[in-house]
Chain A
Amino acid sequence: MSWFSQTLTSSIGKKLLMALTGLFLIVFLVIHATINAMIFYNDGGETFTHWGHFMGTNPIIRTLEIGLVAGFLIHIADGLILWKNNREARPIGYAVTNASANSTWYSRSMGLLGTLLLIFLVIHTAHFWIPNRSNQFATGEELNLYQMMLDIFQNEWVVLIYVLGCISLFWHLLHGFKSAFQTLGANHVKYNGLISFIGTAFSIVVPLLFALMPIAMYLGWVK
C-alpha cells in the first residue's frame, strides 16, 4: 500500500476524511440555505428561480457539483466503515453503562443521526434534485423548482419528514462542527471559544432556516 492510501485508511486518516468532507458539506449547506432562503422574498419565486437557474446551469458550479456528490459519498461510506470498525473494537458489550455521566447522547449517536440524514437525503433528492437533473439531461430544460416546492409542501407528512430531517441535522452539526476541528488538530485555547460559538450558532441557524421553508409554504406564508 502506498503511504498515501495507508494514511487515509488508518484510524486517524479515516477521521481526517470525515472531518474534511464534513466541513466541505458544511460549506455546501451555507450556499444551499442562502439560495433557498430567496423564497422568503415572497416574490412568487422570482429571485429564487434566478439563482436556482445560475446554480443549475453555470458550468463551474456544475463541475463543483461532481465534487459535492463525491463529498457526500465519501462522508457516508467512510462513516459506515468507521461505524463498523468501531463496533468490532468492542465485540462484548457492558451489562451496565452510564455513558450520560461522561458524554452527550448526540456525540455518541453520530452514526444514527447520519443514517437518519441519509434516509432524508434520499427522500429529498428524489423530490427535487434527481427529477430536475434527469429532465435537464433528457430535454435540456430545467423544472420549475419553486412550483414543485409549493406543491410538495402541501402534504403535512412531507413537511413533518423535512422538519425531522432538520432536527437530525441540528444534532449532527452540533457535535460534527466542533468535532471536525478537533480531528484536524485545531484545539487551541485562543480559538476554541470561537469554534464552539460558531459551531453552535451554525447548528441552530441553518437547520432552523431550512425547517422554516416547508413550514412557510405549508402555512401559506410564502406563496
Chain B
Amino acid sequence: MEGNMSLSLKVWRQSNKDTAGGFEDYKLDKVSPDMSFLEMFDVLNEQLIEEGKEPVAFDHDCREGICGACSMFINGRPHGPLKGVTTCQLHMRSFNDGDTIVVEPWRAAAFPVIKDLVVDRDAFDRVISAGGFISVNTGNAQDANSLPVPKEAADEAFSAAACIACGACVAACKNASAMLFVSAKISQLALLPQGQAERSIRAEKMVAQMDAEGFGACTNTGACSAECPKEISMVNIARMNREYIGAKFSSSAV
C-alpha cells in the first residue's frame, strides 16, 4: 500500500519480575501511518506468532484514551512524542519512515515489571484504598440542590478527576514521584462538599501510603504535568502540600 512505513523497533523483553530483561530488535515493513501505536504492536505480535516466537506483552484496554491501561515509554517519553495523548491514541503518522523506535516499560521501584512492557501498578490502587473515597449514607440520594457547589470548584475537581491513573507522571519524573497522581486524587475530593468528611485523614493516609510504596519526592521539575495525557496541573501538587501540611498540624490524629 502506498505511504507504508518501514520501522526498526527496540523493545524491552523480560519474562517475569525476577529475571533480568534486555532489548530485542525487530523490523516491521508495511506499517500504515493511520495505525495506532498499539495496532503497530498487534502487527508485530502477529509477525512474532507466525515466526513461532513469544509475542510482546503490553497493557491495553479501551484503546480510546480513557482507561489508563496503556503504558509505553517511547523514545524517552511516556506515551510518546505527542502532548495530551495516551499510547493508544498515538498514531504512526507521528513517526517517519525508517525511524528506530525504542520502547521500554515504566521504570519505578513501585512499578515492578511483570512481563515485557507490562508493569504492576497495584501501588496506585493501594494509595486509593488508603483514603481516596468518601462516606455515603444509605437511603435515598438527597436533592442535588441541597449541596451547592460553585461552578469553579466543580470544574477544577473535574479537571483533577480526569486523571486516568496510567502512571505516566511516575514514569516521566526523574524521581519516580507519584505526587501528580496522588494530588489529583486528593484534590478531586477536597474540592467538593462530599469529600469534606474525610478530608484531612485522607491527605494524611494517602501520602503515607504513597511514601510506603517507595515513590520518590517531587522536585517541581514539571515533567509529570508536561507528559500527562490528561494534562493534570501542578496546581494539584501545591494543593496536596497544603492539604497534607494543614492536616498534619491540625488534625486530632496524633
Provide the main secondary structure of the chain B interface. mixed
Is B217 a contact of A11 with CB atoms below 8 Å?
yes
**Min CB distance, A6 to chain B, in Å?**
8
Contacts of A194 in B (CB 8 A): none
B177 at the interface (CB under 8 A from A): yes
Is A88 a contact of B214 with CB atoms below 8 Å?
yes
- Residue in chain B with minimal CB distance to A106: B221
Is B76 a contact of A89 with CB atoms below 8 Å?
no
Is A89 a contact of B215 with CB atoms below 8 Å?
yes
CA distance A187 to B234 in the complex (A): 8
> Chain B interface: which of A40-48, A175-183, A202-210?
A175-183
Is B244 a contact of A183 with CB atoms below 8 Å?
no
Is B175 a contact of A12 with CB atoms below 8 Å?
no
- Residue in chain B with minimal CB distance to A93: B107
Task: For A187, give its contact among B108, B172, B207, B235 (CB under 8 Å).
Answer: B235
Is A10 a contact of B207 with CB atoms below 8 Å?
yes
A side interface size, CB within 8 A? 42
Is B241 a contact of A184 with CB atoms below 8 Å?
yes
Contacts of A88 in B (CB 8 A): 109, 214, 216
B222 at the interface (CB under 8 A from A): yes
Task: For A94, give its contact among B73, B109, B226 (CB under 8 Å).
Answer: B73
Task: For A182, give its contact among B102, B227, B237 (CB under 8 Å).
Answer: B237
**Min CB distance, B192 to chain A, in Å?**
19
**Min CB distance, A187 to chain B, in Å?**
3
CA distance A2 to B249 in the complex (A): 12
**Min CB distance, A92 to chain B, in Å?**
6
Task: For A98, give its contact among B12, B76, B210 (CB under 8 Å).
Answer: B76
Within 8 A of A (CB), among B1-41: 10, 12, 23
**Min CB distance, B187 to chain A, in Å?**
12
- Residue in chain B with minimal CB distance to A92: B107
Task: For B211, give its contact among A10, A97, A175 (CB under 8 Å).
Answer: A10
CA distance A96 to B247 in the complex (A): 40
- Residue in chain A with minimal CB distance to B225: A102
CA distance A95 to B107 in the complex (A): 10
- A80-108 CB contact bits vs B (8 Å, 1 = yes)? 00100110111111111111011110011
- Residue in chain A with minimal CB distance to B253: A3
Contacts of B221 in A (CB 8 A): 102-104, 107-108
Within 8 A of A (CB), among B216-254: 216-223, 226-227, 234-235, 237-242, 244-245, 248-249, 253-254
A7 at the interface (CB under 8 A from B): yes
Is B75 a contact of A99 with CB atoms below 8 Å?
no
- A122-155 CB contact bits vs B (8 Å, 1 = yes)? 0000000000000000000000000000000000
Is A187 a contact of B107 with CB atoms below 8 Å?
no
Task: For B104, give its contact among A13, A16, A94, A184 (CB under 8 Å).
Answer: A94
Is A182 a contact of B76 with CB atoms below 8 Å?
no
Is A90 a contact of B104 with CB atoms below 8 Å?
no
Contacts of B207 in A (CB 8 A): 10-12
Is A185 a contact of B238 with CB atoms below 8 Å?
yes
Is B76 a contact of A94 with CB atoms below 8 Å?
yes
Task: For B102, give its contact among A14, A96, A110, A175 (CB under 8 Å).
Answer: A96
Contacts of B208 in A (CB 8 A): 10
Is A102 a contact of B175 with CB atoms below 8 Å?
no
Within 8 A of B (CB), among A1-40: 2-3, 6-7, 10-16
Task: For B218, give its contact among A7, A15, A102 (CB under 8 Å).
Answer: A15
Q: 11 more A-B contacts (CB under 8 A) besides A98-B76, A99-B76? A: A12-B217, A85-B216, A86-B176, A96-B76, A102-B172, A102-B221, A102-B223, A103-B222, A107-B221, A185-B245, A187-B238
* B contact residues vs A (CB 8 Å cutoff): 10, 12, 23, 73, 75-77, 81, 102, 104, 107-110, 172, 174-177, 179, 207-208, 210-211, 214-223, 226-227, 234-235, 237-242, 244-245, 248-249, 253-254
19 inter-chain pairs at a CB distance below 8 angstroms, sorted by A residue, are A3-B253, A10-B207, A10-B208, A11-B207, A12-B207, A13-B248, A82-B217, A85-B217, A89-B110, A89-B175, A96-B104, A98-B76, A99-B174, A101-B77, A103-B174, A103-B222, A179-B219, A182-B220, A185-B242
* A contact residues vs B (CB 8 Å cutoff): 2-3, 6-7, 10-16, 82, 85-86, 88-99, 101-104, 107-108, 110, 175, 178-179, 182-187
Q: 9 smallest A-B Cβ distances: which pairs?
A: A98-B76, A89-B216, A187-B238, A185-B242, A86-B175, A102-B226, A89-B176, A103-B221, A86-B216
